[in-house]
Chains A and B, each alone.
Chain A
């Protein structure tokens, strides 16, 4: 009988493992330098005082005040609180509006009705043009002097003269509709998943007398579950990380009603004369944690990792 410790060490240093480490090393190094280091930097500097006054030398807040930046975010910083609530709303809205809408479109297109290819291509267009262009398009749509929304509102409700982006309630929905229905990329992935289902399963279902609705609910949707989970993670993260649309359409206003966490991070860190990097990084850490929690919840809900 050999020494078990020595045996396991020998196993670890096999030639095969050596190759695996060698292949992984460059990727790990690159990840560590361009991703892990800034991540740790953000995390540690969120416990410091770091603004224009000590731009080059962040000062640790001290053990007794270590969570000062985080406490201020949740107690006195209305803009952060607004950004936090809005980002959560956008996550929920993407899950409740964008995902069901995209799944329905994918299910309809998968039956290849007349003009399905054209519809699919049209549906993907907003996802292949830049969010900057989308922002400008919606800025014009909502403009009280040039836009169509004010005109339509005036036709329905004469004299209303609604200025979408000048009203805190309307502007939230104005920004929301600038991205919420654009699930083209997700739709393509879902379609691919549907088309990869073995036709024999449909044949068997038809032999058993299943109709199209039953095949949707009992075959397609259950088999799409892992992909729905994946695209849900992507969509929810888009909602959580929303920035471009806000920067271009509403600039967080009016009355900061359309602040998102990403926009708050920018405004606090670089968009302010105070250059409050520490507070921005604290918000960034919260955003990262929220992202991880979201991925965990969605994966759990859709059991994405499980194999059928």
Chain B
């Protein structure tokens, strides 16, 4: 009897635990966003009558860790405060960053929801979100406001989809050229990039540096090498045409692409020893540290690396920005990639959508653009920015370098998207081939055949 009672009790306990586990809790599960929304609603009485819109971003870092993040949060909050009597603009920092925001959005889309407005940085959510009908087309708003259109600059064309919509714009762009160490060029007796006329000058400078025992650049099977490939791909009309069609490329069997890969193999990768060719992707940043330590002569990275010059062993006074030459004498090229940036959910009502658009206009205004550059945060897409005026305003050395780098990118004769924005997933496949090209285990023909196989598999 006793055993039966114990068994009965255990059964009942198990069933009860299961019911408790499966049942819904009394209290609704609140997300960080909802909590923040509630906080605002309780602290401001008027708030309940105003439309509320929540903006999620990835600038969560402490000021000591990354001052730019604090500045961006201040910019957001100033907008919220300035419009406090029109709408509740709730600013939420997601500590998982832009990648986390992207992943959350994917999950939300599966459940049929989306952010009110979020900054996705370089993580492009728009193809999947647009296919699910979850986001707003910003093109009508851009077309009716010339200042707004000027503020988003290259993002207008870059983010224009095949169906004629623009689902995202950004307040910052990745302006990319390269940096060089003037002292090392002088030591090698090489012509500095500002004096280059064509890519032949690049080759001559690399040879001079190598002959002088100076490592021309550090690379890895990823970012910096991709920058150089993208830069070299802007050398002629034919190469630019192939590059521009990267998103819809059906075959890599193109003479200009083959020439680009051959250049990468013979004139770039095989010019440095293996110790200066680290692992791929973002897993090794030795190419940066070696440059700022004064051990390599060139660094292929964006304008934001002006900050790296501060107190560096190479000597801040030796660090100079440059953009790529072309094969058209004297003409230059730079990479300007907007990426994804601000995306607005289509579930918002008219007033909320208007508030979201107002916020994007604010973020892409010339005032905020100038502030982003002055504070050394990055480069703005706005075509209205007067870099000459900014150069006289900024005071610190790294800010001056940033302004100069941005000016060079903005004034380049040819501006193109970065490799990833152009080729999508194929970027990863292209960069995977660098190691084989460097050690000679792969020919350019092998690379082309393998890339074509990738395209067939991805179809």
Contact = CB atoms under 8 A, between A and B. Distances in A.
A29 B18 CA distance: 9
Given A56-B109, A167-B435, A253-B280, A26 B124 contact: no
B439 interface: yes
B425 A145 contact: no
Nearest to B11: A22
B435 A253 contact: yes
Nearest to B439: A167
Contacts of B441: 168
Contact of A168 (B110, B281, B424, B436): B436
B224 to A, nearest CB: 13
A52 interface: yes
B238 interface: no
A139 to B, nearest CB: 6
A143 B435 contact: no
Interface string B1-29: 00000010011001101100000000000
B267 interface: no
B11 A166 contact: no
A126 interface: no
A166 B457 contact: no
Interface residues of B, number: 52
A150 interface: yes
Interface stretch (B126-134, B255-263, B301-309): B126-134
A54 B429 CA distance: 25
Indicate the size class of the contact surface on chain A: 35 or more
Contacts of A145: 275, 278, 284, 286, 289-290
A52 B453 contact: no
B434 interface: yes
Interface string A248-272: 1111011110000000000000101
B450 interface: yes
A26 B424 contact: no
A143 B284 CA distance: 8
Nearest to A253: B280
A161 B275 contact: yes
B275 to A, nearest CB: 4
B275 A55 contact: no
B432 interface: yes
B289 A139 contact: no
B128 A161 contact: no
Contacts of A142: 279
A10 to B, nearest CB: 19
B84 interface: no
Interface of B: 7, 10-11, 14-15, 17-18, 103, 106, 109-110, 112, 124, 127-128, 131-132, 220-221, 273-281, 283-284, 286, 289-290, 424-425, 429, 431-436, 438-439, 441-442, 450, 453-454, 456-458
> Which are the 5 A-B pairs with shortest beta-carbon distances?
A254-B435, A165-B279, A161-B275, A52-B128, A77-B457
